[in-house]
Amino acid sequence: MPTSPRTINRLPPVTGPCRHPPARGKDRAWPWIRTALLAAALSTPGEAAAESPECVDLLYFERPPYYQLDVQGQVTGLVAGPAARAFRKAGICYHWLKLPANRHLPRIRKNPQQPVCAVGWFQNSERKKFAQFSLPLYQDKPQVAVARKAAGLKKYYPFAADLLRQKNLVLGLRKGFSYGAHLDAAIARWQPPLYESSRAVSGLLQMLVHRRIDYVFMAREEADYLLRGDASQRLNTIVLGDMPWGNRRYLLCSKNLAESVMTRLNAAIGGE
């Protein structure tokens, strides 16, 4: 009886006629059972995990200090680190998959056959319609303002309005970006001179240095990370006394992620 070609764990393909005589009766099933056992014995743990329905694609994009690559090329950061630890602690297979942020939600909306999670997303009612959320991985610190040292602004203001009311100062904003309910409402109320840009935070800082704008708002974590080296010689962090703590960041997962898997992840996150 000839056997079909098969490659197992980089071994040469097994081909050619079977050396055993044809089996009769109940013995006829034995060659197939033996072949299945041999394949299971030679398969590696990684191969077995990759075929498991619990193996999850873990989506990220680079945004230091939340998600970034370390010197060994491993994904780490304030949010990516706790996510990876939760998967390892829960014993759940995962693969990092780098995708632009604007492709994360469409990927999860499709509810692909293999479960998928995106790291560090905010929770809202619209996203709950097509995804499920873990316990929070991280909560952002209160936002701060960043300005040029040469502008002579204080390093502390009791209220964000103390900056927004100064009509001689131009606020740089990311176009289409929400700064949270508190700041969004204050900006709408005081209507400071604005310059909106599609550039990332690092681009806004360059605009600050070149005097195209006078101050920006950003997460404290990003300010601490970006205002290093030469930037710290030119720019100041301004603490605002009325700023609330920032948004919580979650794992946002496709609906086909098993409830038991999410339960294990939440138990691991809760034990951080």
On whether both 105 and 129 belong to a single domain, the answer is yes
Total domains in the fold of the chain: 2
Q: Is the pLDDT of residue 121 over 70?
A: yes
User: Does 112 map to a domain?
Assistant: yes
Q: How far is CA 258 from CA 112, 182, 217, 264, in A?
A: 13, 36, 39, 10
Q: Specify if 259 maps to a domain.
A: yes
Instruction: Determine which of 25-29, 125-129, 187-191, 200-204 has the lowest per-residue pLDDT on average.
Output: 25-29
Are 133 and 85 in a shared domain? Answer: yes
Q: What is the pLDDT of residue 54?
A: 59
| Helices 259-270 + 80-90 axis angle, to 10 | 120
Structure tokens at 114: 């293999």
Domain that holds residue 167: 144-240
| 253 shares a domain with 120 | yes
pLDDT single digits (tens) 146-184 = 999 999 999 999 999 999 999 999 999 988 888 988 999
Query: Higher confidence at residue 67 or residue 15?
Result: 67
Residues 126 and 150 in one domain: no
Task: Return the percentage of the chain with pLDDT > 70, whole number.
Answer: 80
Q: Residue 59 falls within a domain, yes or no? A: yes
Domain-embedded: residue 44: no
The confidence band for 189, taking pLDDT boundaries of 50, 70 and 90, is: very high
For the chain, give the DSSP string: -BPPP---TTPPP--SB-SSPPP-GGGGGHHHHHHHHHHHHHS-HHHHHHHSTT-EEEEE--BTTTBEE-TTS-EESTTHHHHHHHHHHHT--EEEEE--GGGHHHHHHT--SS-EEEEEEPP-HHHHTTEEE-S-SEEPPPPEEEEEGGGT--SEES-THHHHT-TTSPEEEETT----HHHHHHHHHH---EEEESS-HHHHHHHHHTTS-SEEEE-HHHHHHHS-THHHHHEEEEEETTPPP--EEEEEEETTS-HHHHHHHHHHHHT-
Give Cα separations from 4 to 15, 21, 132 (angstroms): 6, 17, 43
Residue 188 shares a structural domain with residue 63:
no
Indicate if 157 and 118 belong to the same structural domain.
no
Residue 135 lies in a domain: yes
Is residue 6 over pLDDT 50? no
- In a domain, residue 233? The reply is yes
CATH number, residue 180: 3.40.190.10
Residue 51 phi, psi dihedral angles, 5° rounding? -85, -10
Among positive and negative, which fits the CA dihedral 153, 237, 196, 226? positive
Is the pLDDT score of 11 beyond 80?
no
Which single residue is written with the structure tokens 């299945």? 36
Is residue 33, in this structure, part of any structural domain at all? Answer: no
Instruction: Indicate if 251 and 129 belong to the same structural domain.
Output: yes
The closest of 10, 14, 11, 12 to 2, measured between CA atoms, is 14
261 and 173 inside one domain? no
Domain membership flag for residue 30: no
Calculate ∠ Cα 74-78-83, nearest 5°. 65
The pTM for the full model equals 0.71
Residue found by looking up tokens 């929770």 in the block: 123
Are residues 150 and 102 both part of a single domain?
no
Per-residue pLDDT reduced to its tens digit, 35-52: 333 333 333 333 333 334
- Per residue in 50-80, pLDDT (tens digit) is 334 458 999 999 999 999 999 999 999 999 9
Torsion sign (Cα): 150, 152, 178, 121: positive
| Same domain as 124, residue 71 | yes
Say whether both 70 and 120 belong to one domain. Answer: yes
